[in-house]
Each structure stands twice: as C-alpha cells, then as structure tokens.
Chain A
Amino acid sequence: MNTETPAHLDGNAAAGALREVFAVDLTTAAGRCENCGRTVVLAEARLYTRAPGLVGRCPGCEAVLFRVVRGPDRTWLDLRGLTCIEVSLPDA
C-alpha cells in the first residue's frame, strides 16, 4: 500500500488512527450501515483521506460511516453512520 493523494482507500488504512483509540483492531469489526442496513467489515469501507481527517463511507450506498480527526493530543471520532459494531473478543 502506498497512500499518496488517492481518491479513496480501504478502511484498512484507518487501522492506525482507530487503534489509537480502541484496544482491538477495529478494521476487522463488522458494522451495520445506518443508511442501507448493509453489514460492512470496516476494512472494506471506502476511506477518503483528503478531508481534514479520515472519512469512511459504506461501499454499498456511500453514506458516511465514521470520521476520525487527529489533532494535537486528541482525536475526534464520529460514528454517526454505524448503528452497531460487532467485535470478535474470544473469551481468553
């Protein structure tokens, strides 16, 4: 992967920004799109990186699933388009 000035990438490219906030790899989580109801593995979201931050959109309907903006010493996370996130957490 080589992310110079792309149109859109995969949600996978948000793995680092999300792992700063969550203790699990959120890119392997399954999220439900509020707009179309489709279940999306977040790694397969369409990730736009030209905004001030990262914008993940549904690969089915293009609705915004999440936005991540990193600033000095803080992160803003907007999960407006996800009604549910399912994360695999084996009972270790």
Chain B
Amino acid sequence: MARAAVLGRLTWRVGTVRAVRDETPTARTLVLDVPGWPGHEAGQHVDVRLTAADGYTAVRSYSLANAPDADRVELTVQQVPDGEVSPYLTQALAVGDPLEIRGPVGGWFVWRPGQPEPVQLVAGGSGIVPLMAMVRAHGTSGGRAPMRLLYSVRDPASALYRAELADRAASDGGPEVTYAYTRAAPPGWPRTPGRIDADLLAAATWPPEAGPSCYVCGPTGFVERVADLLVAAGHEPTRIRTERFGPSGGSP
C-alpha cells in the first residue's frame, strides 16, 4: 500500500489562470497560479468546481499535467461534446479569470521518481494527461528508471503533447514512445490502424520479466482491455494501476 500521510482538511482554493495553451483543436492546457498550493505527485488529480449565478455547482476531477511544482498547477482539459464543465474550461475561461480547485487528491495512481523498477505507461486519448505528469517528473528528476509509453490515439492530429514527447524521447534517458493509431495513421506507418492488441503490446512494452510498474489511463473500455491484455501477457495484476475516465471522451 502506498504511504498515506496525515493531511489537513481539504478546502477549496481560488486559483488564477496565468496562461492557456492550445494542445489540439479540442484540448487546451490551463496554467494556474494557486496561492498556498501544497505541491503534488505525478498522477494525482484535483477537483474543479464551477458555480453558476443561481448557486448551482458542478464538480469534476481533472488530472494534473505538470511535474510536481511548488506554486503552479497545469490541467489539460479535453472538450467533451455536450459536457457541462469542459466547454467552459476549454473555450470561455481566460487569462486572469479565477477558478476554484481543491487538491491534490488521490495517492494510488502515482509514480514517484525514487521508484527503481521500469515504468510502463499506456494511454488512451486524453488519458495521457496524468501519464504526462509522470513523463515530466521523470525528466525533471533525472529519473533512472527506464520508461516506456504506448499512446493510443485516433489519428496524428488528436495526439496531445506530440512535440514535447518527441523532444523527451530524443533526450538522454528519455522515455521510449510508441504511438498506436486507431482510425488514421501517418503516411507510410507500418501498422494498419486499429486497437492495441497482444502483438503490439508485446512489441512496444516491457516484458513481464522486467518487472515493470504499469500505469494505464483512458476511457473505461480501453483501460479494461489493456489491463486484461497485460495480465494475459503475464504481468502481475498487483503491478498494474489503472485510472478510468468514462466512455464519453470518445474512443482513442
């Protein structure tokens, strides 16, 4: 079991949008200044609360995208069609606006740079966000644990953080990154578009004998399929940690 430090009462804080970055036509990153932010670990998330003029509130969870940082919080939000919260966060919220958040929360789906074993990340669509925090934490900590990322996306244009992942993959000790395209692959791509299967998993991920910790994040169906494939390949179920965000984000 992960350590559970005794924490103070969780309260809402008002952050301020310092910058926004468009990641894809339907996803953007919010960079927030949050006074009193206690810091976080890679893989944790925050709750975001929106309050309407009539007092109606909506709370949603969003993974933290940046490496642990003492005073800055980054959330990458994928717009969900007909969503109640994400259209506001991806379209209306502007630099200088306030945003209520609380956290960080969740100590289970977390990678710590001190972990020595190989790391296998498997992302579906915007499930890349908490895994990107791990990739970034790995980079900033000079982590020695070897890391691989298998990233399933519909097509090249819907991949988040593509340029940064390429840079990190090219750097010394950086992660090995493999894309799996489900709908449309770049010209000349060697694999026919399709879902991750046992063959691709065997080719692009650590074998069970390497004893990796596996982190799988994406839509519910994706996560359950990949977790089943990992177990079938011989990975210890207890070494596989999963995070689902529901089916509505579209199949990656």
A: which residues have CB within 8 A of B?
1-10, 12-13, 15-16, 19-20, 23-25, 27-30, 41, 43-44, 86-90, 92
Contact = CB atoms under 8 A, between A and B. Distances in A.
Contacts of A87: 4
Contact of B61 (A13, A24, A30, A88): A13
A28 B105 CA distance: 11
Contacts of B107: 15, 25, 27-28, 43
Interface stretch (B5-13, B168-176, B185-193): B5-13
A1 B63 contact: yes
B159 interface: no
Given A4-B86, A8-B244, A89 B108 contact: no
B108 A12 contact: yes
Interface string B82-106: 0111100000000000000011011
Contacts of A20: 9-10
Contacts of A89: 4, 6
Interface of B: 1-10, 45-47, 59-63, 77-78, 80, 83-86, 102-103, 105-109, 126-127, 129-130, 217, 220, 242-249
Contacts of B10: 16, 19-20
Nearest to A30: B1
A4 B83 CA distance: 6
Contact of B220 (A6, A43, A86, A90): A6
Nearest to B47: A16
Instruction: Give chain B's interface secondary structure class.
Output: mixed
A29 B247 CA distance: 26
Contact of A28 (B4, B60, B63, B102): B4
Best-buried of B7, B80, B246 by chain A (most CB within 10 Å): B246
Contact of B105 (A7, A16, A23, A41): A16
Nearest to A47: B244
A15 B61 CA distance: 10
Q: What are the 5 A-B residue pairs with the smallest beta carbon separation, nearest first?
A: A6-B246, A43-B108, A15-B105, A16-B47, A4-B80
B225 to A, nearest CB: 15
Contacts of B84: 4
Contacts of A92: 6
